[in-house]
Structure 1
Amino acid sequence: AAVLSQGPEQHLFKNEENTDQSLTASLLPNHSPVPLPVHYSPKDSYNLVYIIFFLMGIGSLLPWNFFITAKHYWLYKLSNHSFPNKPDEERSELSDYFESYLAITSTVPSVLCLILNYVLVNRLSPKARILSSLIVILVIFVVTTILVKVDTSNCTTEFFVGTLVSVAIVSGASNLFTGSVFGITGHFPMRISQALISGQAMGGTVSALASIIDLAAAKDVTDSALAYFLTADVFILLCIATYLLLPRLEYSRHYLLTAECSNSVVINEAGSRAKVSTPPLQPILRKTWVLGLSVFYVFCISITVFPAVSSGIQSVNKDSGSPWTTTYFTPLTSFFLYNAADFCGRQATAWLQVPGPTSRVLPALVLCRSVLVPLLMFCNYQPRDYLHSVLFAHDAFPIAFNCLLGLSNGYLGTLPMIYGPKVVSRDLAEATGVVMSFFLALGLAVGSAFSVLIVHSI
Structure 2
Amino acid sequence: MARGDAPRDSYHLVGISFFILGLGTLLPWNFFITAIPYFQVRLAGAGNSTARILSTNHTGSEDAFNFNNWVTLLSQLPLLLFTLLNSFLYQCVPETVRILGSLLAILMLFALTAALVKVDMSPGPFFSITMASVCFINSFSAVLQGSLFGQLGTMPSTYSTLFLSGQGLAGIFAALAMLLSMASGVDAETSALGYFITPCVGILMSIVCYLSLPHLKFARYYLANKSSQAQAQELETKAELLQSGQFFNPICCFLLFNIMDWLGRSLTSYFLWPDEDSRLLPLLVCLRFLFVPLFMLCHVPQRSRLPILFPQDAYFITFMLLFAVSNGYLVSLTMCLAPRQVLPHEREVAGALMTFFLALGLSCGASLSFLFKALL
Give the whole-Å Cα distance in 2 for the aligned partners of 1:400 and 1:72.
24
Return the offset for 1:314: 3.4
1:312–1:381 CA contact under 8 A, matched in 2: yes
Change (3 A) 1:426 1:258: farther
Could you tell me the TM-score, scaled by structure 2's length? 0.93
Query: Structure 1-normalised TM-score?
Result: 0.77
1: CA distance between counterparts of 2:32 and 2:64? 15
Aligned equivalent of 2:143, options 176, 189, 198: 176
Answer yes or no: is 1:130 the counterpart of 2:59.
Answer: no
**Which residue in 1 is equivalent to 2:71?**
102
C-alpha RMSD of the superposition: 2.2
Match of 2:253 in 1: 334
Determine if the alignment matches structure 1 residue 367 to structure 2 residue 323: no
Q: What corresponds to 1:409 in structure 2?
A: 327
Listed as ranges, the matches of 1:23-34 within 5 Å are: none
Offset of residue 426 of structure 1: 3.2
AA of the residue aligned to 1:148 = V
| Aligned mates of 2:89, 2:183 — CA distance in 1 | 45
Select 1:425's aligned residue among 331, 343, 354.
Answer: 343
Shift of 1:417: 1.5
State the Cα distance separating 1:158 from its structure 2 match. Answer: 1.2
Partner of 2:167: 200
**Unpaired runs of 5+ in structure 1?**
1-15, 22-39, 264-278, 316-325
Gaps of 5+ in 2: none
The secondary structure found in structure 1 opposite 2:225 is: helix
Please state how far the C-alpha of 1:220 moved relative to its aligned partner.
4.3
Give the length in aligned residue pairs.
371
Counterpart-to-counterpart distance in 1, 2:348 and 2:357: 15
CA distance in 1, matches of 2:193, 2:42: 13
Which one has a bigger Cα radius of gyration?
1
State the Cα distance separating 1:89 from its structure 2 match.
Answer: 4.8
SS at the partner of 1:115? helix
2:17/2:209 contact within 8 Å kept: yes
In the TM superposition, residue 340 of structure 1 has moved relative to its aligned partner by 0.7
Separation in 1 of the partners of 2:369 and 2:114? 28
Distance 1:89 1:362 in 2: 38
Q: 1:199 to 1:94 in 2, by over 3 A?
A: farther
Question: Counterpart in 2 of 1:187?
Answer: 154
Q: In structure 2, what is the equivalent of residue 346 of structure 1?
A: 265
Q: 2:191 and 2:120 mapped to 1: Cα distance? A: 15
**Comparing 368-377 with 173-182, which one deviates more in the overlay?**
368-377
**1:26 aligned residue:** none
For 1:305-324, list aligned pairs within 5 A: 306-307=238-239, 311-315=240-244
Q: Measure, in 1, the Cα distance between the counterparts of 2:218 and 2:45.
A: 54
Cα deviation code 1:158-191 (max 9, x no counterpart): 1111101001000000110000001110000000
CA distance in 2, matches of 1:138, 1:434: 25
1:32-431 aligned at under 5 Å gives the runs 40-82=5-47, 83-84=50-51, 88-89=58-59, 91-94=61-64, 97-152=66-121, 155-259=122-226, 262=227, 303=237, 306-307=238-239, 311-315=240-244, 326-387=245-306, 389-431=307-349
Q: Note if 1:445 corresponds to 2:363.
A: yes
Percent of aligned positions that are identical: 38
